[in-house]
C-alpha cells in the first residue's frame, strides 16, 4: 500500500507535539501527528495551567478562542505546617488581561482544540494509535510502528518524540531508559465539581477569572512534595506531587498523601461540598538539568516531558517552546534538504540558548534541594508555625520577648548559617516564583 | 437498484455515532439524551456489522459504502469506518433531521439507500443509546426487502443471487436462506471486529465524506414532512429507570462456610 | 486469598472513563517478585493495580484500572515491569485531564 514518506512524524499530540506539528505544518511540511488517546488530551494529566508564552507566538490572540477555564489573576503560595498555613499572594487584574498570568485549562478540552489548529494548518492527526516501536536504518530512526504489519508502519525524514515522560520512542531508540525514581514525581489529581458561583465567592474572584494556589511545606509527610488547588470554570483541579524516590521511602500509597492534603484544615474548606468527577495520576519530570536526555539524537528530536523539560511549577510552556524549536529545526532541514543527524543538532543549539535552558541552569540546584531538602518540608514549616502562633496569640508577653523566642526557634530548628545559605542559594530553587 | 452479477457485492452499511454509555445522562425535562459534552463513539454494535462488511469484501470484492444520519460530529464514526476499510462514507446531516425517532431515521436512510446500487444492507443489532433495535427492520420495510436480525454468519453466494445466514438464538442458531437484496442486522457473535491500522487512518483522513442535507434528499424525491422530530410518530411521555433489583446476598468469611451457605440457598430456590 | 483493591480506589476509579481492552497491557516478569523485599509496585501504584498474594506467592495485576502513569515501571527494583499502551484508544480516557 502507501509507502509515502512524511517530512516529519510527531509522536504525541500534547502541548509539545502539537506545537512542533503546528510549526511545521504552517511552514508547509507534511506532518503526521500521532496520538495514542482516543482524542488528544485523553491520556494526559497536568496540574492545570497554560501560559501565554509561547502559545501566543503560534496562535495570536488565542485567548479569544481557546478553551480557557479561568484567567489567573490571583497567585497564592502557601507554606503548610501540620495544621496551619502561611500564605503569600499577589492579585492583579493586569495578569488577567490577555491571560498574562496564565490560564487554567482541562486537557480533554484544550488539547483537542490545540491539535485542531495543527490539523487546520495541514498536519495529519491520527488518534487511538499508540506507537510501539521505532524503525531503524543505518544508525538512525527512520520511522515508527503502531502495531503489526506494514500497514502499521510510517516513515519520515525526522521524528519528534513528544510522547511524554515514559517516552516509548526514546526508549525504543535507545536514547534513554525509563526515568529514575529520583527524577520523577508522581502527581495525583482530582477534578472536583463545584458551582461556578461557589468557586467565585470562595476564592474571591470575578466571573471568568481564577486563582492558583500552590502549596509547599508539610504536604508529603516531611518528604519532597507539593500540592495545588487551581480554579476551573466549574471545577477545581486539586492534587499533590511527591518525588517517587521519596514515596518509596515513605512506603505509603500516593493517594493517602492526596487524602491528607485534601483534609488539611487549610485546604479542606475550599473543597467542601465538591463532587469528585475524575481521578488521575501521572509522572512529572523533576530531575532538572542533569536528567535531560540527548535532545537531538539518531534522527529523533525529544521535546516536552519526553525530554524531561519541566521545572515546578512550569511545564506546558517549556513543552510548547521545545516543540516550536524542534519544528523550526526540521523546517530548516527541509529548506536545505539536509535532514542529517548533524543538521538536526540545530535543535540542541536553539534549546541551549533558550529560556528553557536558562531556567534549568538557574535552578540547577533544584534537584539537590528536592532530594535532600528536608528542611523545606519539615524544619521551616515547623519553625514558621511555632513563631507565628507565639506572635499572634496576644497573651500579655511583650513582643520583644516573643521576637527573641522566634530567633531561638530559627537557631534551633534550622540554624542561622543554613538560613543565610538557603536564602542565598537553595530557596530560589525551591520556590515556584 | 441491484448491481450486476459477477463484480462483487455492493454493500451498504448504516452506522450511528452514539454517546459513550458511561457518560449517559437524560434531560430531566425533555427526557431525551443529553449529548453535549459527552464523548461520541461509533456504536459498538455497528463494529460487528462493519466487520461483516469488510470480510465479505475480502472474499468477494465489491464495494462497501457507509452511511450515517447524525450531527456533523458523526464524521468521526464515518472516518473510523473508512480507516477500517470502507470505500465510501456518506453523512446525512441537517437540523431538519434532528430528534428523529426510529421511523423517521429509517425513512431518511432509505431515501439515500434508494439512490445507490446495493446487494445487501448491513446494520448493527441495535444502538447502545436507544437500544430499540428497530431502525434495521424499518429500513428493510422502506426498501421493501427481506431482513434478518441476530446474524452471526453470512455466506454470500458467488452469483449474488442469495445468501445463507446463521441467526444466533438463545439455545442454538437458525439457518436461513434469503434472496438478495436483503438487510442483515449483525450480532456480536459474528466475531471480533478488527482494529484500524495507522495507514488506514491516514488514508481515511484524506478521503472526503460525502455530505447530504435535507435539501439534497428532497431533490432525490424525499418528503421533508417525514424528517426529524416532525416526521416522528413516536412520543415519549415519560422515562423512568427500571425497578431496582432486590439486593444480592454476600456471604463473607470462611470460604467453606460461604460455599455451604450458597449451596443451601441455591437448593432452597430450586436451582440445584 | 487475594485482597481485592481497597474500596477507596474503587470509588475513585468509578468516576473515570475506561474502555477496557481485552488483553492485559502490564507485563510483569514475576521471576524476582519473591525475593523482592519491598514490592514497591504494590504501594506506589495510584490505582492499586498490583496486589501480592502471600499464599500463592504471586502478583495479581488488575490492569483494568490502570491510568498508564508508568510508576510501576520506574519503581520495580528489578526492571521487570513493562507498560505497553492498550491499542485503539482503549484503556483510560480522561474526560477532564
Instruction: For residue A126, give how far its alpha carbon lies from the nearest alpha carbon of chain B (Å).
Output: 6
Local confidence band at A426 (pLDDT 50, 70, 90 cut-offs) = confident
Residue A374: per-residue pLDDT: 78
Q: What is the pLDDT of residues A346-378, one digit of tens each?
A: 999 999 999 999 999 988 888 888 887 678 889
Spatial CB neighbours of A371, under 8 Å, sequence gap ≥ 6? A182, A224, A243, A245, A246
Position A137 in a domain: yes
What is the predicted pLDDT for the residue at B41? 85
- Are residues A129 and A216 both part of a single domain? no
A29 inside domain? yes
Question: Which tens digit of pLDDT belongs to each residue from A50-70?
Answer: 999 999 999 999 999 999 999
Q: How many C-alpha atoms does B86 have within 13 Å on its Cβ side? A: 33
**Confidence bin at C97 (pLDDT 50/70/90):** confident
The rounded distance, in Å, linking the Cα atoms of A94 and A77 is 19
Question: Does the distance separating the beta carbons of A154 and B198 come in below 8 Å?
Answer: yes
Q: Which of A1, A152, A277 to mutate: most B Cβ within 10 Å? A: A152
Using a pLDDT cut of 90, give the percent of chain A over it.
Answer: 88
Say if A152 is an interface residue toward chain B (CB within 8 Å): yes
**Same-domain check for residues A223 and A340:** no
Our count of domains for chain A comes to 3
Give residue C7's pLDDT.
56
| Chain A residues whose beta carbon lies within 8 Å of the beta carbon of residue C12 | 190, 255, 276, 279
Residue A291 CA to residue A305 CA, distance in Å, equals: 11
Q: Do A138 and A233 have their domain in common? A: no
ipTM: 0.93
Domains of chain C, earliest start first: 7-92 (3.30.70.20)
Same domain, residue pair A264 and A307: no
**Shared domain check, A210 and A143:** no
B257, burial (CB in 10 Å: exposed 0-12, middle 13-18, buried 19+): exposed
Query: Do A231 and A300 share a structural domain?
Result: no
C95 part of contact set with chain A, CB < 8 Å: yes
Could you give the CA distance from residue B204 to residue B75 in angstroms, rounded to a whole number?
11
Closest Cβ opposite residue C87 in set B22, B39, B195: B195
Q: Is residue B255 part of a domain?
A: no
B interface test, pick of C1, C7, C19 with most B CB neighbours within 10 Å:
C19
DSSP chain B: --PPTTS--EEEEEE-EEE-GGG--B-TTT-SB--TTS-EEE-HHHHHHHHHHHHHHHHH--EEEEEEES-GGGHHHHHHHHHHT-SEEEEE--GGGTT--HHHHHHHHHHHHTTS--SEEEEES--TTT----HHHHHHHHHT--EEEEEEEEEE-TTSSEEEEEEEETTEEEEEEEESSEEEEE-GGG-PPPPPPHHHHHHHHHSPPEEE-HHHHHHTT--GGGSTGGG---------PPPPPPPP----S-HHHHHHHHHHHHHHTT--
- Express each pLDDT in B188-210 by its tens digit: 999 999 999 999 999 999 999 99
Grid coordinates representing C1 are 486469598
Is the CB of residue C48 less than 8 Å away from at least one CB of chain A? Answer: yes
Peptide bond preceding A322: is omega within 30 degrees of 0, i.e. cis?
A: no
Distance between CA atoms of residues A66 and A105, nearest Å: 9
Q: What is the pLDDT of residue B239?
A: 77
Point out the least confidently predicted range of B67-76, B256-265, C7-16: C7-16
CATH number of the domain that residue A250 is part of: 3.30.9.10
Q: How far apart are CA B12 and CA B86, in angstroms?
A: 10
Residue C8 with chain A: CB contacts under 8 Å = 255, 259
Nearest in space to C61 (alpha carbons), one of C13, C16, C29: C29
**Do residues A142 and A190 both lie within one domain?**
no
Residue A168 and residue A48 share a domain: yes
For residues A367 and B27, the model is more confident at A367
Report d(CA B80, CA B96) in Å as an integer. Answer: 25
Judge if A165 and A123 occupy the same domain.
yes
pLDDT given for residue C2 in this prediction: 42
* B28 has a pLDDT exceeding 80: no
Residue span of the structural domain in which B76 resides: 10-231
What mean pLDDT is predicted for residues B123-131? 90
Query: Do residues B123 and B49 lie in contact, with contact meaning Cβ atoms separated by under 8 Å?
Result: yes
Q: Kindly state whether residue A99 falls inside one of the protein's structural domains.
A: no
Classify residue B87: in a domain, yes or no. Answer: yes
Residue B228 is predicted with a pLDDT of 93
Name the residue facing A41 among C68, C84, C97 (closest C-beta). C97
pLDDT confidence of B252, banded at 50, 70, 90?
Answer: confident
Residue C65 phi/psi, 5-degree rounding, is -95, 5
- CATH code for the domain of A174: 3.50.50.60
A244 shares a domain with A279 = yes
Q: Which one, of A68, A70, A51, lies nearest residue A205 by Cα?
A: A70
Position A89 in a domain:
no
Point out the domain boundary residue: A341, A362, A383: A362
Task: Please report, in angstroms and rounded to a whole number, the separation of the first and last CA atoms in chain A.
Answer: 53
Mean pLDDT, to the nearest integer, of A371-394? 90
Nearest to A374 by CA among A383, A385, A363: A383
Domain presence at residue A418 = yes
Counting as contact any 3 or more CB pairs under 8 A, the partners of B are A, C
Mean pLDDT of A86-113: 96
Residues A279 and A248 placed together within one structural domain of the fold: yes
In a domain, B244, yes or no: no
In a domain, A87, yes or no: no
For A276-309, the pLDDT digits (tens) are 989 999 999 999 999 999 999 999 999 999 999 9
Taking alpha carbons only, the member of A172, A300, A189, A39 closest to residue C84 is: A172
DSSP-based helix, strand, coil % in chain C, nearest 5: 25, 20, 60
CA distance A270 to A262: 9
Q: What is the CATH number of the domain that holds B40?
A: 3.40.50.620
Is the CB of C9 inside 8 Å of chain A's CB atoms?
yes
How many domains are contained in chain B? 1
Instruction: Classify residue B261: in a domain, yes or no.
Output: no
Q: What is the pLDDT of residue C57?
A: 94
Residue with the three cell numbers 488565542: A62
Asked if C62 contacts C51 with a C-beta cutoff of 8 angstroms, the reply is: yes
The predicted pLDDT at position C4 comes to 44
Q: Do A124 and B197 touch (CB under 8 A)?
A: no
Tell me the residue range of the domain where A238 lies.
Answer: 184-285
Q: Is residue B258 part of a domain?
A: no
Reduced to 3 states (helix: H, G, I; strand: E, B; else coil), residue A342 is helix
Cross-chain residue pair A152–B197, CB shorter than 8 Å: yes
Smallest Cα distance from B86 to chain A, Å: 15
Residue A10 backbone dihedrals phi, psi, to 5 degrees? -110, 120
A275 and A227, same structural domain? yes
User: Mutate which of A25, A126, A146 to test chain B, going by most B C-beta atoms within 10 A?
Assistant: A126
- Give the residues across from A124 on adjacent strands: A32
**CA neighbor of B162 nearest in space, from B148, B173, B149:** B148
Amino acid at each position: 500500500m502507501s509507502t509515502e514518506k512524511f517530512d516529519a512524524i510527531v509522536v504525541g499530540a500534547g502541548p509539545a507535539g502539537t506545537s512542533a506539528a503546528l510549526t511545521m505544518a504552517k511552514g508547509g511540511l507534511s506532518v503526521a501527528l500521532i496520538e495514542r488517546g482516543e482524542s488528544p488530551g485523553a491520556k494526559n494529566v497536568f496540574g492545570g495551567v497554560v501560559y501565554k508564552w509561547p502559545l501566543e507566538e503560534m496562535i495570536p490572540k488565542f485567548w479569544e478562542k481557546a478553551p480557557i477555564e479561568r484567567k489567573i489573576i490571583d497567585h497564592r503560595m502557601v507554606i503548610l505546617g501540620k495544621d496551619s498555613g502561611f500564605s503569600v499572594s499577589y492579585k492583579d487584574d493586569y495578569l488577567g488581561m490577555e491571560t498574562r498570568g496564565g490560564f487554567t485549562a482541562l486537557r480533554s478540552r484544550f488539547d483537542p482544540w490545540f491539535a485542531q489548529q495543527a490539523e487546520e494548518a495541514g498536519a495529519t492527526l491520527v488518534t487511538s494509535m499508540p506507537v510501539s516501536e521505532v524503525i531503524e536504518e543505518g544508525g538512525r530512526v527512520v520511522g515508527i510502528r503502531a502495531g503489526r504489519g506494514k500497514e502499521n508502519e510510517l516513515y519520515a525524514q525526522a521524528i519528534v518524540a513528544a510522547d511524554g515522560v515514559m517516552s516509548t520512542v526514546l526508549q525504543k531508540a535507545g536514547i534513554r531508559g525509563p526515568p529514575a525514581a529520583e527524577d520523577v514525581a508522581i502527581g495525583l489529581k482530582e477534578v472536583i465539581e463545584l458551582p461556578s458561583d461557589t468557586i467565585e465567592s470562595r476564592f474571591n474572584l470575578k466571573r471568568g477569572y481564577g486563582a492558583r494556589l500552590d502549596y509547599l511545606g508539610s504536604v508529603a509527610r516531611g518528604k519532597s512534595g507539593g500540592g495545588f488547588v487551581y480554579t476551573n470554570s466549574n471545577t477545581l483541579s486539586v492534587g499533590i506531587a511527591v518525588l517517587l524516590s521519596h514515596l518509596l521511602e515513605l512506603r505509603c500509597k500516593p493517594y493517602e498523601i492526596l487524602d491528607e492534603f485534601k483534609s488539611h484544615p487549610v485546604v479542606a474548606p475550599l473543597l467542601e461540598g465538591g463532587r469528585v468527577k475524575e481521578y488521575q495520576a501521572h509522572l512529572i519530570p523533576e530531575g532538572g538539568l542533569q536528567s535531560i536526555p540527548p535532545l537531538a539524537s539518531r534522527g529523533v528530536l525529544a521535546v516536552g516531558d519526553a525530554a524531561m523539560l519541566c521545572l515546578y511549577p512550569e511545564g506546558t510552556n517549556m513543552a510548547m517552546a521545545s516543540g516550536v524549536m524542534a519544528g523550526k529545526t526540521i523546517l530548516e532541514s527541509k529548506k536545505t534538504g539536509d535532514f542529517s543527524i548533524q543538521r538536526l543538532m540545530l535543535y540542541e543549539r536553539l534549546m541551549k540558548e533558550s529560556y528553557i535552558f536558562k531556567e534549568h541552569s538557574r535552578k540547577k540546584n533544584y534537584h539537590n534541594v528536592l532530594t535532600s531538602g528536608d528542611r523545606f518540608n519539615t524544619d521551616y514549616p515547623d519553625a514558621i508555625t511555632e513563631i507565628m502562633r507565639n506572635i499572634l496569640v496576644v497573651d500579655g508577653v511583650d513582643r520583644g520577648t516573643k521576637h527573641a523566642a522566634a530567633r531561638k526557634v530559627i537557631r534551633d530548628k534550622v540554624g542561622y548559617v543554613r538560613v543565610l545559605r538557603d536564602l542565598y542559594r537553595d530557596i530560589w530553587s525551591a520556590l515556584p516564583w | 437498484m441491484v448491481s450486476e452479477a459477477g463484480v462483487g457485492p455492493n454493500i451498504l452499511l448504516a452506522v450511528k455515532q452514539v454517546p459513550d454509555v458511561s457518560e449517559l445522562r437524560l434531560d430531566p425535562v425533555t427526557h431525551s439524551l443529553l449529548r453535549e459534552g459527552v464523548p461520541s463513539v461509533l456504536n459498538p454494535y455497528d463494529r460487528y456489522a462493519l466487520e461483516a462488511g469488510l470480510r465479505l469484501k475480502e472474499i468477494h470484492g465489491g464495494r462497501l459504502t457507509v452511511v450515517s444520519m447524525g450531527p456533523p460530529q458523526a464524521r468521526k464514526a464515518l472516518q473510523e469506518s473508512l480507516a477500517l476499510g470502507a470505500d465510501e462514507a456518506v453523512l446525512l446531516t441537517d437540523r431538519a433531521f434532528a430528534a428523529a425517532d426510529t421511523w423517521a431515521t429509517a425513512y431518511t436512510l432509505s431515501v439515500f439507500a434508494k439512490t445507490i446500487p446495493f446487494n445487501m444492507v448491513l446494520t448493527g443489532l441495535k444502538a447502545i443509546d436507544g437500544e430499540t433495535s428497530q431502525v434495521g427492520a424499518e429500513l428493510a420495510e422502506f426498501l421493501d426487502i427481506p431482513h434478518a436480525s441476530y446474524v452471526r454468519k453470512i455466506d454470500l453466494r458467488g452469483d449474488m443471487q442469495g445468501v445463507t445466514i446463521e441467526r444466533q438464538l438463545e439455545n442454538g442458531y437458525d439457518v436461513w436462506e434469503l434472496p438478495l437484496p436483503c438487510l442483515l442486522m449483525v450480532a456480536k457473535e459474528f466475531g471480533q471486529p478488527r482494529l484500524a491500522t495507522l495507514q488506514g487512518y491516514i488514508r481515511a483522513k484524506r478521503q472526503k465524506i460525502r455530505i447530504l442535507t435535507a435539501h439534497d434528499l428532497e431533490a432525490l424525491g424525499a418528503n421533508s414532512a417525514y424528517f426529524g422530530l416532525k416526521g416522528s410518530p413516536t412520543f415519549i411521555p415519560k422515562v423512568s429507570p427500571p425497578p431496582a433489583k432486590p439486593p444480592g446476598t454476600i456471604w463473607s468469611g470462611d470460604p467453606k462456610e460461604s460455599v455451604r451457605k450458597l449451596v443451601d440457598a441455591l437448593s432452597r430456590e430450586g436451582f440445584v | 486469598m487475594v485482597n481485592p483493591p481497597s474500596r477507596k480506589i474503587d470509588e475513585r476509579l468509578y468516576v473515570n472513563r475506561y474502555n477496557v481492552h481485552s488483553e492485559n497491557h502490564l507485563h510483569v516478569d514475576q521471576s524476582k517478585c519473591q525475593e523482592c523485599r519491598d514490592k514497591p509496585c504494590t504501594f506506589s501504584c495510584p490505582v492499586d493495580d498490583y496486589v501480592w498474594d502471600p499464599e500463592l506467592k504471586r502478583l495479581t495485576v488488575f490492569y483494568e484500572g490502570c491510568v498508564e502513569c508508568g510508576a510501576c515501571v520506574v519503581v520495580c527494583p528489578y526492571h521487570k515491569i513493562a507498560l505497553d499502551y492498550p491499542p485503539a484508544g482503549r484503556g483510560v480516557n480522561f474526560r477532564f485531564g
